[in-house]
Every structure is written in structure tokens, then in C-alpha cells.
Amino acid sequence: MFENLFTDASTIARHHNGPLIDERCRYLLHCASVGATLHTQRNRARAILRLAMLLPADVSGQVDAELLRHLISAHQPPATDQTATGLLNIGRPWLKFIGWWHQPAQPIAFPEALDRFVVWMRDERGLTPCTVEQWRYRTANFLRWCKETGRDLKSLEPEDIDAYFVTYGAQRWSRISAGHIARMLRVFFKHAASTGACSKSLAGSILCHRRYRFETLPYALGWHDVQRLINTATGGTEVDVRDRAILLLLAIYGLRRGEVAALRLEDIDRERGHIRVWRLKRHQPQIYPLVSSVEQALTLYIETARPSVAQAQLFIRTRSPRVPISAPGIYDVVNRRLRSLGVQAAHLGPHALRHACASKMLAEGLTLKEIGDHLGHRSAASTSIYAKVDLAGLRQVGEFDLGGLQ
């Protein structure tokens, strides 16, 4: 194993003779199997050897963040802040892999009610995984607050809901976010009441503030900011080539982050000039014309920058493990670049580009029906993508004046 990483005989011997050799080798072989580079493997091998020498002999299965920090800081000579951070970042996934990492579970309040709500959202309502996870997170926060403040779900009163918004949410949420959470809790309480977990009158007591039709328009980035964002990814590195393709898909087609993450190589039909997107809200595919800028960016990525991995997904992480990029990873691509530009907006993620796409199309004079088709909005009039969406008309939508993005 170590002969493939190092050339110096004394270095190889030190790694062979160090503690926890089986645990270290298993992890390094795993990392190699998912595409870790030689440079990364060498750094990992050095770091986990150092950590293996620091770990007490009887510590298996009991290492947590506090203990790991203590072991690193107590070692002499002391590690620099940068080295200590690197050891933590490498040590945590290694210890998780070998089953030694102890992560105290955060207690879930009223777990049965929460679990039933999640199952109902997923199986009966058919909500997307992203929506289910967001609603689960928000509901769990509320239930945890109830537990911490001595409130029982069965005996909740409208005044308790008011107290949650005043004492917990006032310093955390915008007016729009508060409205979203109020509507989410109303759905939760309707479901909980149907199972006997709370009062039937509770859901009706939650009143959402009035929202105005164009209240959320500031979410959209200005098109000048979209152009600036795209121009941050003009280099020839793997990161820039991949990110440019991702940013163009988000800006031109208004895709959701999960839709970009779900794209597969087979979805790109360069011969016919089409791209196939699985629409999360409609639960069905949608065919788009490949506009020239997107086709060029995708071709460059696929032919020159995408690593040779077995996965069929289009976009792959640029660092090991070389696995498909996740929806949160797509968010990070946008958020990191927008923050580097100093852009000021309510939201600095992929959805801001979706809003910008819609605003640009509206300014170009496209109808709401065309915009809705382009963005994949769920509607009763669109049940079959091939029957309901006119590709010729959609090509016009895809080729509207993108202000320099073509």
C-alpha cells in the first residue's frame, strides 16, 4: 500500500510500523477506489498516521470532536492552527469510516409525530426530497423548542404558537420566511390533528400575514450580476470548466439545484441538440433545446475536465471522493462565487438565478405560460412533456437575448 505512495524507504517503514495499520490501509484503499489523487492520498496517509500515534489504545468507538481537538492541541510540539484544522478535517472522515467516531445524537422531540409527518409528505403528498427535508428540519426545530420550553404537543394552544414566533423566530426570520414557516406549521398541525397528536382547532388558529403579489421580486439578481457571476468561471481549471456549465444551466434554463445535480451523461443529446431534465415538481422529464453557450460549456467539461469515473451523473466533485456533486454542492458553487463578488441579495444560491431567469424572460416580453413551461412549473395543463411543450416555441424561449451569455 505505502510503496505506491512514497519512495523513501524510511518513510514507507514508518507507515508500515505505525499503529492501526489495518484501519489506516482500509481507509486509504477506500479513498483510492473513489478517485483520490496521489497527492491527496499522501496527505491523508501522513495525517492519519499522526493521529493514530496520538490516539489512546482503549479509545475505539469513543472519539468525538472535543477529544480529537484535545489530543491535537496537547501534542508537543504543538501544531499550527492550519495543521490542526487539517488533521481534524482528515481525521473525522477516517474515524467515521472505521466506526470509531462518536457523534452525540441530538434528541428529537415528539419523534412519532415527526416521523408520521415525513412519511405522509413523502408517500401521500409526493413532495420532492428537498421539500420533505426542509419541512422536516423546520418542524423538528419547532418541536424541539416545544420540548425545551416545557410544552406538550397534545396540549398546545394558539398562544404557544405566537410565543414561538416572538421568542424564537423574531431574530432569525425575515417576514417572508415567517410566512413560509406559518404555512408549513399549519399543514403539520392539520396532519397531526388527523392522527390525534394535537387539537383539531390548532391549525386554523395560525394566520399568515398578507403577502403582496410582487413582494419577492428582490430575490432576483440583476442580469448584470448574472453576467459577472458567469465571468468568474472563465479559466481552464477543472473547477472553472465544471462550474461554468453549472452556472449557465441555472441561469439560462432556470433549473433547480436538485435538477442540475440529477443530470446524467445520457441526458445530453448533442447530436439532436437537446437536453433532458427530470423536473422535480412535475415528476416527469422535460426536453430543452441546447442553446449554443450551454452546449459549448458542456462539451468542454465532458471532453476535457470531467474525471473518468463509473458514475453516470454529469457533474462530479472536483475533490475526492470523486462522486457525483450533490444538490447542496450546487448551492455552494453559486454561493461561494456570489459572495466573492460582494453581491447583495436576499438569497445567494441557485434559486436566485432561477428568479433572475424568470425576471429576464418577463422583461423580454415572454408570456407567463411560456415562462411557466420554461421553468417547469407544475400545472394541470402540463401533464405530458412531449404533448404539452412545443419544442419549437421552447427554443425561442431558450434563445431570448441573454445579454452576452450566448
Note the pLDDT tens digit of each residue in 327-348.
889 999 999 999 898 887 767 8
Task: Please list the residue range(s) of the chain that carry CATH number 1.10.443.10.
Answer: 218-398
Question: What confidence score (pLDDT) does residue 208 get?
Answer: 63
Question: 377: burial class by Cβ within 10 Å (0-12, 13-18, 19+)?
Answer: middle
- When pLDDT is cut at 50, 70 and 90, the band that residue 301 belongs to is very high
Residue 200 φ then ψ, to 5°: -70, -20
What amino acid is encoded at 86 in this protein? G
Residue 15 falls in the annotated catalytic set: no
Question: What confidence score (pLDDT) does residue 216 get?
Answer: 44
- Checking if the pLDDT of 207 tops 60, the result is yes
- When pLDDT is cut at 50, 70 and 90, the band that residue 31 belongs to is confident
Question: 102: burial class by Cβ within 10 Å (0-12, 13-18, 19+)?
Answer: middle
Structure-block grid coordinates of residue 155: 396540549
Residue 355 falls in the annotated catalytic set: no
CA distance 321 to 19: 25
Residue 256 falls in the annotated catalytic set: yes
With cell 442540475, the residue in question is 260
Question: What confidence score (pLDDT) does residue 96 get?
Answer: 86
Question: What confidence score (pLDDT) does residue 392 get?
Answer: 45
Q: In the chain, what is the straight-line distance between the N-terminal and C-terminal CA atoms, in Å? A: 49
Higher pLDDT, 255 or 393: 255
Question: What confidence score (pLDDT) does residue 254 get?
Answer: 87
For domain 218-398, say whether CATH 1.10.443.10 is its number: yes
- Checking if the pLDDT of 197 tops 60, the result is yes
Question: What confidence score (pLDDT) does residue 143 get?
Answer: 92
Task: Please list the residue range(s) of the chain that carry CATH number 1.10.150.
Answer: 111-205
Report the range out of 173-177, 271-275, 277-281, 352-356 with the highest average pLDDT: 271-275
Among 84-93, 136-145, 194-203, name the one with the lowest average pLDDT.
Answer: 84-93
Catalytic hit among 191, 242, 279, 354: 354
Measured N-to-C along each axis, helices 327-341 and 238-253 cross at an angle, to the nearest 10 degrees, of 100
Question: 170: burial class by Cβ within 10 Å (0-12, 13-18, 19+)?
Answer: exposed
CA distance 252 to 402: 8
- Checking if the pLDDT of 211 tops 70, the result is no
Catalytic hit among 281, 282, 317, 395: 281
Residue 351 falls in the annotated catalytic set: yes
CATH architecture of 111-205: Orthogonal Bundle (1.10)
How much is the average pLDDT of 26-54? 85
Q: How far is CA 355 from the centre of its chain?
A: 18
DSSP reduced 3-state for 127: coil
Catalytic hit among 44, 256, 355, 374: 256
Query: Considering the chain, what is the average pLDDT of its residues?
Result: 81
In terms of Cα–Cα distance, which of 56, 29, 59, 55 is closest to 44?
Answer: 29
pLDDT tens-digit readout, 223-253: 889 999 999 999 999 999 999 999 999 998 8
- Checking if the pLDDT of 111 tops 90, the result is no
Residue 200 falls in the annotated catalytic set: no
Catalytic hit among 92, 147, 377, 395: 377
CA distance 171 to 83: 36
- When pLDDT is cut at 50, 70 and 90, the band that residue 406 belongs to is low
- When pLDDT is cut at 50, 70 and 90, the band that residue 194 belongs to is very high
Question: What confidence score (pLDDT) does residue 215 get?
Answer: 44
Residue 281 falls in the annotated catalytic set: yes
Catalytic hit among 154, 270, 386, 388: 386
Give the strand pairing for 284-289 and 268-269: unpaired
Structure-block grid coordinates of residue 80: 499550527
Question: 339: burial class by Cβ within 10 Å (0-12, 13-18, 19+)?
Answer: exposed
Residue 128 φ then ψ, to 5°: -70, 155
In terms of Cα–Cα distance, which of 144, 161, 242, 156 is closest to 199?
Answer: 156
